[in-house]
Structure 1
């Protein structure tokens, strides 16, 4: 019987390897480049934002229930549609790990500066830790509502943070230079129990010569 010649199949293994190299190699180069830029202090685009919502980022709190609190420098960080970190005007904080499946509580780390528990900080806690509902008003403005408290935020960038820090340093330096120079009187050493020296003896003034007026 005559054997039929079947058409040869393409080299699927070679094609697979070729496309694997084409996809993985650029990803490895991109990852290595990101690491090198990070070590050099240069921050590239946040690729995680490509898979997150437009609310992602850091937001500075402007008002709470219509009251201006911008001087308190309160902020929140939003990821995956929820608040995960921030600054309450005194301490920086962030959630770590996943929420407890039973209680819903999450572990939180924070700096330990001692601060007064002001009404502004109490209202901030309601927004930051009360499961706030976030609403993006426009590209640079965010509204958060929680437990009867409404906060208005503005998008806060690294450049804005650096400019604010530099302005604060200039104000401190100007205040330091404006302080008057205080000259303290030199202290005279005094030994306890020492006898003071006797007063000087003044000799009598000689009489004027005869005929002098």
Structure 2
């Protein structure tokens, strides 16, 4: 499916929602370098060693370094944690809760026809009194719909927004399951928690609702 993008607002295109918290740049704290140090004089017992002594000590040091290098190599790289995707049932609960927190009333699921391709999609959570809604695109959904919907956005990219209905005035945000991941590990090995995935989903839903209000979606 060819996607034609048209600007509809600052950072917003027709098929993409630009809402979302901007990535904050990490502050880089530079540390001041030392003013320098004097070169020590080779005196006393070090000077008395002479050239041969220095060579001997150098050999011992190098030998120790070689042995240390053999016995103390870098640890093997750890494989990344296996991750799971936030399942559809739990995701819908999170979406409904996010809408309520944003001051809207969730509406039951319904099917609509996409304007661009005529494919039928299920709006998993609608909004009472409005036509716009949220589609949680599972991997199974994505495989079934294929090119009828835009490809999944990466997490740092804009959310996908599509039109549906006979007149194209029904706006739907596509939230792809592959963007909400977590692992099952605990403690220091835990890299991505369920809470983190649910918070990201909550933010995306609330950003869409705010965008819909601002743009006065039907």
TM-score class, shorter-chain normalisation, is under 0.3
| Higher radius of gyration, 1 or 2 | 1
Q: Which structure is higher in RCO with an 8 Å CA cutoff and minimum separation 6? A: 2
TM norm structure 1: 0.26
- TM-score, normalised with respect to structure 2: 0.26
